[in-house]
């Protein structure tokens, strides 16, 4: 049974009637542009065919009730008394309500069920998908339009201020605004977007190493601090405004670690722009090379890969039909992404999975995806 059918069935079982709205909010994979969003830089993600699904209906009481098929405890709270209770996943739901109200929206209550096939904590952004899905549910039942950019901003505020994760805006932007068949170049400074089609006859393979970040919080925050330190050194607010030449010239004055962190961000921004140029030329070979270079930079300069990600990317890169591969997401575990020839996607998945298992003893999860649409109400 599809996940769509599953949640509709679960809704009917629980409420004895059909849902009023069914909503799909996708996870995402970033093709290139990693750790650039919080540096006001460029990213190039696409929405994937793994998503959070919600089936909901409005209710008279000003309360929200949501059951996740993946969680034991449902979320249940009053819209006029939203408090922090540190109740795990509920905080993502309450935080969206809080941020929408703070932005001036008059919210109506609703109830429903949700389910997701975006793996948690693997770098495909199950949290942003959940936030955008919940935001869309509030828009649908309260009768205001879903504004993809504003909702992304509220989702990031939720994650930063309510949930307490110091993340950038890429995940929410792509989950909210994804477009079928296209990757989205996002300028994280002004949130402008340009949809760019994937090269013809290519597919994207997502390769879950099955390793998860354990102490990422500190690693991630440390990287952010290095970037801030480097920006201050160059006298700018964000590394977006620093050139590759400037970083090279700073070699003697800047400590080695900060220099390498800055070099990753600055060269990665350039790689995103080069990637867009390659896509415009329908050139998967150049795009793939840029992805390989991105992985090397994340491994050697930014140091956010782990052995599993390095092995996975290397195996994919060496397989015929693969144009390029790199880690994707925050790093320290999770998924790698490969750009492959359409007719090789299945073979590459199988081959790389076998080799990865032989090398690491871990059983990876591979799946082929196209670029899908962003968060929306699904017409049944």
Interacting residues toward ligand ADP by CB under 6 A:
68, 70-71, 88-89, 92, 116, 120-123, 125-127, 130
Which residue's Cβ has the minimum distance to Mg ion?
Answer: 127
- Give the pairing of strands 110-116 and 63-68: parallel
Q: b/e for 84-102, b at 16 or more Cβ within 10 A?
A: eeeeebbbbbbbbbbbbee
Q: Which does 92 bind (CB under 5 to 8 A by kind): Mg ion, ligand ADP, none?
A: ligand ADP
Q: What are phi and psi of 123, to 5 degrees?
A: 90, 10
Scanning the structure block, which residue is given the tokens 């670029």?
Answer: 371
Q: Per rule CB under 5 A, is residue 127 in the interface with Mg ion?
A: yes
**Region near Mg ion per CB under 5 A, out of 125-133, 206-214, 265-273, 283-291:** 125-133
Tell me how far, at minimum, the Cβ of 282 lies from Mg ion, in Å.
32
256 annotated active-site = no
- Of these partners, Mg ion, ligand ADP, none, which one is at the site of residue 89 (CB under 5 to 8 Å by kind)? ligand ADP
To the nearest whole angstrom, how small is the minimum distance from the Cβ of residue 277 to Mg ion?
Answer: 30
CB of 114 to ligand ADP, least distance (A): 6
Per CB under 5 A, does 294 bind Mg ion? no
For the CB of residue 83, give the shortest distance to ligand ADP in the complex, in Å. 17
CB 347 within 8 A of CB 203: no
By CB under 5 A, tell whether 175 contacts Mg ion. Answer: no
Look at residues 199, 153, 209, 207 and name the one whose alpha carbon lies nearest to residue 325.
207
- Residue 34 DSSP code: -
> 164 or 181: whose CB is closer to Mg ion?
164
Catalytic residue chosen out of the listed positions 37, 40, 171, 208: 171
Nearest residue (CB) to ligand ADP, 92 versus 138: 92
**SS3 track for 142-181:** HCCCCCHHHHHHHHHHHHHHHHCCCCCCHHHHHHHHCECC
Token pair listed for 360: 């690491």
Query: Nearer to ligand ADP by C-beta: 130 or 272?
Result: 130
CB nearer to Mg ion: pick between 109 and 119? 119
Q: Which candidate, 70, 379, 283, 27, places its Cα nearest to that of 178?
A: 27
- Write the CB contacts of 278 (distance below 8 Å, at least 6 apart in sequence): 199, 284, 286, 287, 290
Q: How far is the CB of 120 from Mg ion (least distance, A)?
A: 9
Q: Is the CB of 169 or the CB of 247 nearer to Mg ion?
A: 169
Which does residue 123 bind out of Mg ion, ligand ADP, none, counting CB within 5 to 8 angstroms by kind?
Answer: ligand ADP
Distance CA 248, CA 8 (A): 56
156 binds Mg ion, rule: CB under 5 A: no
Number of residues that bind Mg ion (CB under 5 A): 1
Distance of closest approach, residue 9 Cβ to Mg ion, in angstroms: 28
Rounded to whole angstroms, what are the CA distances from 321 to 35, 88, 353?
28, 42, 15
Angstrom distance (rounded) from CA 89 to CA 363: 27
Catalytic residues: 171
- Interacting residue ranges for Mg ion, rule: CB under 5 A: 127
């Amino acid at each position: 049974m599809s996940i769509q059918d599953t949640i509709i069935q679960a809704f009917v079982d629980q409420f004895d009637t059909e849902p009023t709205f069914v909503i799909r909010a996708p996870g995402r994979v970033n093709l290139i542009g990693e750790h650039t969003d919080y540096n006001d830089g460029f990213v190039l993600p696409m929405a994937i065919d793994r998503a959070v699904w919600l089936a909901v209906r409005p209710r008279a009481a000003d309360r929200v009730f949501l059951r996740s098929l993946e969680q034991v405890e449902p979320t249940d709270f009053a819209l006029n008394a939203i408090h922090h209770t540190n109740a795990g996943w509920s905080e993502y739901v309450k935080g969206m309500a809080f941020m929408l109200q703070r932005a001036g929206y008059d919210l109506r209550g609703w109830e429903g069920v949700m389910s997701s096939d975006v793996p948690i904590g693997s770098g495909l952004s199950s949290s942003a998908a959940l936030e955008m899905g919940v935001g869309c549910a509030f828009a649908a039942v309260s009768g205001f339009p879903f504004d993809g950019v504003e909702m992304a901003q509220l989702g990031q505020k939720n994650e930063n201020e309510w949930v307490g994760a110091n993340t950038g805006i890429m995940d929410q932007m792509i989950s909210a605004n994804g477009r079928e068949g296209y990757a989205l170049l996002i300028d994280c400074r002004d949130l402008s977007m340009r949809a760019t089609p994937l090269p013809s006859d290519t597919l994207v393979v997502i390769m879950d190493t099955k390793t998860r970040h354990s102490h990422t919080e500190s690693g991630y925050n440390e990287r952010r601090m290095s970037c801030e330190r480097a920006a201050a050194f160059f006298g700018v607010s964000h590394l977006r405004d620093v050139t590759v030449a400037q970083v090279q010239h700073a070699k003697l004055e800047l400590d080695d670690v900060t220099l390498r962190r800055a070099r990753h961000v600055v060269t990665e921004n350039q790689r995103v722009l080069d990637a867009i140029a390659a896509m415009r030329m329908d050139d998967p070979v150049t795009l793939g090379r840029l992805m390989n270079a991105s992985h090397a930079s994340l491994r050697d300069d930014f140091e956010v890969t782990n052995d599993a990600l390095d092995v996975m990317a290397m195996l994919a890169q060496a397989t015929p039909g693969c144009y390029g591969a790199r880690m994707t997401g925050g790093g320290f575990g999770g998924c790698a992404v490969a750009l492959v020839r359409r007719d090789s996607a299945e073979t590459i998945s199988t081959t790389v999975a076998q080799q990865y298992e032989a090398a690491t003893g871990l059983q990876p999860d591979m799946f082929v995806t196209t670029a899908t649409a962003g968060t929306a109400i699904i017409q049944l």
